[in-house]
Structure 1
Amino acid sequence: MKWTDVQEIAIQLSDAHPQVDPLKINFVDLMKWVIALPEFNDDPKHCGERVLEAIQAAWIEEVE
């Protein structure tokens, strides 16, 4: 997975952290959790605030 795979990242985060409210996660932790996903293999330097916002929004949709 790459940073651009926002929907897949959101699905995997939802599965990996079902007890977490995605509205309450900070971007530092979110980035660490994405990088820790088993299928993730992109450069952490390619991540920015917009990417994290998109991942968070997709995760919120996934939970709802």
Structure 2
Amino acid sequence: MAKTAAKKKGEGAPPRADGRKALLLYLHPEVTLALKKAALEVSKPAYEVAEGAIKEWLRRRK
């Protein structure tokens, strides 16, 4: 079965209560594995560790 055309604006998953939005990133497998291991070490979800690192990087760029 062929993939359908891009979804129209407003279609897809319902909005999250916390306001977060999905972002697809392609990472090398070793980076993904290291992120998951680091997140386990600090008892946090990987997305929180990644978001914290991105926020820090953005803060330093200013």
Shorter-normalised TM-score: what interval? 0.3 to 0.5
Q: Would you tell me which structure has more helix in proportion to its own residues?
A: 1
TM-score (norm 1): 0.33
Rg: which structure is higher? 2
TM-score (norm 2): 0.34
